[in-house]
Structure 1
């Protein structure tokens, strides 16, 4: 059973990857927007923001989360396109793993988003970013980001199935991009008004970005438990929602 599942998922992954490559404008925007935001914050706002050290080192983990939001929008739009154009109905008639389409979208979305994060990190290194962590710290930070990307990609798949048109899917998932702005991704939450700080400290972006930042600058990952719990919880919600919607559609 395992071999057909993997084979069918790989077929759907290749299909999703080809679709993404056929839309170079969308792909370029998703890859370049986080870099432009990094340049904006580093060279326009960074000089006015005191984070106790080089602002570029502070902001890079936040840019990783922005890449996740942009990537989720592409995934949700692609899933919704399949749902509205009848692709799911056609695949359902084939002798294949029923959830292969979802798994393919998730696999392609995670790989694409991690590639975008990798490009953003390379650009940040060229600009002068220097993480102080060793190999273990960098691997641990990469693992946390990967879990977050996986969780948000499942959320994007569920949203893509839940809405009626690709424009709505893209709009809903773009909201994910704004979550890091009200967190410790770009400024310390201690500088925010008390009513906003309460939200910023208790939403998923803050513990995740703080954990990644602490791992990369070797200052300690004090919020790693909360970060992992948020990633696991979001992944469970996204997977359960996507599976429920897909099963309900299968009975129509």
Structure 2
């Protein structure tokens, strides 16, 4: 009596890579065909950047500089925060896309197909991370156009890029879990709103030390603040301190949580 053969590990890896690539192409084509959400989410950080620089810039720089107004200093301060905020904004689109696939039965159909099960999740995650990085590059170009300058070396820029990719990866897994747990696209959009609001209550726009005492712990003990301070240190040469390893711990914990949550929801039998 013959027994079914289990594919060798190289064959399983090849299958996973092939199916994940297919799902990635599917998600990227979907985003290209429906660019309105991506465009709206991209315009939000750009508008916030222009608003805080050209409307509030003089006032904010005066408060931070002890009465000496220098808009260029505030541009340097605010751009790293806006870059992290850009990543938070793209996550709403990820959650909505996943929720649409769940509500329309596409995910249930994928469960029945002879494909690598993890490829459905990996396609969403990699596609979202790529969109987040592209959005960060575009917003960063706007920052350079309005006066942002950095003296960072090549290694610092590579580390900054790696930091942005790590943050995008960690929060994308959380967004995928939110999308899978949401009954429809509207609920997914609402559930993902905290991922946009967290950067607003971080050190993105003003230093934590300048915040009221009761509010300071909220801004200090959340994942975006150490990530923003690490990015500032890499690009502007400010003190990083413990922020880099706190950021790494946050990202690894969120990625693991999001992965387990998303996988559990995906493996759950449809009702």
TM-score (norm 2): 0.90
Map of 1:2 onto structure 2: 13
2:32 corresponding residue in structure 1 = 21
Classify the secondary structure of the residue corresponding to 2:186: helix
**Aligned counterpart, 2:238:** 219
C-alpha offsets along residues 44-96 of structure 1, whole Å, 9 cap, x if unaligned?
11211134461111111111121112110000000000001110121122111
Give, in whole Å, the separation in 2 of the partners of 1:180 and 1:73: 14
- List runs of 5+ in structure 2 lacking aligned partners: 1-11
Q: Does 1:40 align with 2:51?
A: yes
Mapping of residues 140-155 of structure 1, within 5 Å: 140-155=159-174
**Which 10-residue stretch deviates more, 156-165 or 86-95?**
86-95
**Which among 231, 249, 258 is matched to residue 238 of structure 1?**
258
Alpha-carbon distance in structure 1 between the residues aligned to 2:85 and 2:207 = 17
How far off its partner does 1:98 sit?
0.7
Question: Partners in 1 of 2:224 and 2:112 — Cα distance?
Answer: 40
Larger CA deviation: 34-43 vs 167-176: 167-176
- Structure 1: state its 5+ residue gaps: none
The answer to whether the aligner puts 1:187 opposite 2:187 as a matched pair is: no
Q: Distance in 2 between matches of 1:249 and 1:173?
A: 24
Cα deviation, residue 119, structure 1 = 0.3
Q: How far apart in 1 are the matches of 2:215 and 2:15?
A: 49
Query: What is the CA–CA distance in structure 2 between the aligned matches of 1:187 and 1:212, rounded to whole Å?
Result: 15
Asked whether the equivalents of residues 8 and 97 of structure 1 are also in contact (C-alpha less than 8 Å), the reply is yes
| More displaced stretch, 122-131 vs 151-160 | 122-131
Pick the aligned partner of 2:112 from 93, 96, 99: 93
What's the RMSD between the two structures over aligned residues? 1.2
Kept in 2: contact 1:208–1:227 (CA 8 A): yes
TM-score (norm 1): 0.96
2 CA distance for matches of 1:93 and 1:84? 16
Pair member with larger Rg: 2
